[in-house]
Structure formats: C-alpha cells, structure tokens
Structure 1
C-alpha cells in the first residue's frame, strides 16, 4: 500500500476523532490541528519528534505570553510592543541552537496559537499537546499500516504444490 494513502486514511479517521475529543473535552479544535501540523512538519520523527514538537510549541506559548504581558507594561507606547516583538522573535529563532528547541516552526506555531487564543495559555497549551499526540498517532499508524500491508504483499502465498518449507517439490 502507498504510504501517503495509508497516512491520509489514518489522518482522516483520527481528524474526525480529534474533532469529537476537542468538543467533548472543551479543547480548542484549531489549536489541536496546529499541534498535529507541528508533528507532521517536524524533521524528526517518532518519539523524539513528539518531544521536540512539544518543547518548541510550549516555548512558543511562553514567548507569546512574554510579548503579551511585556506589551501591557506601557500600553500607551506602541513602539515598545513592536520592539519587544522583534526581540522575542529573535530569541525564538536563536533558541534553535539547543537541539531540543531546534524546530523553529513549532515555536512560532505555539506563539501564534497563543495570540489567536487570546492569551488563554493553559487551554491553548493543552489543545496543542493533545493535538501533537493525535499527529503522532495519525502519521505513525499510517506508516505502520503501510509497512504491514507491504510485508503481507511481499510474503508469497504457499501454492498447492509447495512443500513444508514453501518451495515447490
């Protein structure tokens, strides 16, 4: 089976499940899809990619809250907010020198989700993290299904004239 097709099927099914889970638990659906996106976009796969995605998304939430609260210190000075945003964006990028924070898009995904979620960082963070888990499940279940399907195709069936070792006698 084609890997892309398998991932598409599992992503489709689990996206529907995510929609139900988000509504049932009071999570932010779109933020969860951003978490899924972070996992799919991370160059590292598997559990390492999941951890890197979680760390970078959470760092983005932190940086967004720093901008939000820093800008509130002097709301009459718009320029301060713009300068703070520039400095924090620099820090969001430079933190990538650390291996576990090396996925810059994850940091910006976390920050953008926090801004879009009006600074409700606990709910945004939980939605992002559950979404990351769904992204992990979507991709890895598709990879598993494709590998299992390929393995089944590669194993030749035993014909009626095959001996106990599978070879024709």
Structure 2
C-alpha cells in the first residue's frame, strides 16, 4: 500500500470523526478543516509541523482581530483598506521569525476569523483541534502503511509522489 492511500484511508475515517467532534463540542467544522489543511500544507512534519501550524493559525487570528478592531475604531472606509494593507505586510514580514515562517498558515487563521465574523473564541479551538486532527490523519496513515507493508519495502517518501 502506498503512503498516499494509507493517509487517504485514515484521513477519510478521521474526517468523519472530526465532523462528529465538531458538532458535539459546538466547534466550526469548516474551520477545523482549515486547521487540518494548515498541517498538511506545512513545510514541517511531526511535532514541528504541529507547532508551526498552530502558531501561524493563532497569529492569523490575532492579525484579523487587529484589522477588525482598528477598522471599527476608524470609521472611514479607505482607512480599513490601509489597515488591511499594513497588517498584510506584517503578516508576511513576521515570517522572518522561524516559528511564524509559514505564511499560508497565518492567512488561513486570518481568513477563518473573518469568515466567522470575528468570533475568535470559537475560531481558535476549531482551528487548533483541526490542526491536531491533521497531525493524527497523516501520522496514523504513515503508521498504517508501516503495519501493512513488509519492512523490506518501506522507504517513506513524499505521499504525493506515489
């Protein structure tokens, strides 16, 4: 079995579980899938990818709230655009910090916050649990492949290449 198919199997199963968890806990299932997407797209794997995904998603939530709050304070439409431009610059520039180096993760967190009308208290747990699910999807898929494939044929490669 290829790594891709093994990850597809565990992702399918855990996506259904996530839907149930999100509903049960009152979380945003779509925001959780954005968190999961952040992990899968992260340039890092394992715990480093988990931390990078969470840090950048949280950063994005913060920056979206900055845009929302400052735009509300300065009730002039053009200033909302200026604030957005400045904050988008900072969202990219902060990637100079290693732990915030995944720019798409920052924008995913920001977009989720805008989509939820600034309800950061709901977006944050939805994103973070989603990132955890992404980690579990990938790591359990790799585990499944290792269990179902003879050890002499096991070089772990990029799942998309298979």
TM-score by length of 2: 0.92
**Residue by residue, what CA displacement relative to the aligned partner does 1:104-153 show, whole Å, maximum 9, x if unpaired?**
00000000000001100011000000000000000110011112222357
**Residue by residue, what CA displacement relative to the aligned partner does 1:7-62 show, whole Å, maximum 9, x if unpaired?**
00000000000000000000000000000000000010000000000000000000
What is aligned with 2:137? Answer: 138
* Bigger radius of gyration: 1
Instruction: Identify unmatched segments of 5+ residues in structure 2.
Output: 154-162
CA RMSD of aligned residues (A): 1.3
- Per-residue deviation at 1:64? 0.1
Instruction: Identify unmatched segments of 5+ residues in structure 1.
Output: 155-169
Q: 1 CA distance for matches of 2:90 and 2:150? A: 46
TM-score by length of 1: 0.88
Q: 2 CA distance for matches of 1:26 and 1:71? A: 29
What is aligned with 2:125? Answer: 126
What is aligned with 1:112? Answer: 111
Helix, strand or coil at the partner of 2:110: helix
Q: 2 CA distance for matches of 1:8 and 1:100? A: 28
1:91-102 paired onto structure 2 within 5 Å: 91-102=90-101
Q: 2 CA distance for matches of 1:78 and 1:108? A: 22
Moved more, 141-150 or 39-48: 141-150
Larger relative contact order (CA 8 Å, sep ≥ 6): 2
Q: 2 CA distance for matches of 1:25 and 1:152? A: 40
What is aligned with 1:88? Answer: 87
Q: 2 CA distance for matches of 1:97 and 1:74? A: 30
Number of positions where the alignment pairs a residue of Structure 1 with one of Structure 2? 154
Q: 2 CA distance for matches of 1:23 and 1:89? A: 32
Q: 1 CA distance for matches of 2:27 and 2:68? A: 22
**Residue by residue, what CA displacement relative to the aligned partner does 1:46-103 show, whole Å, maximum 9, x if unpaired?**
000000000000000000000000000122x101000000000000000000000000
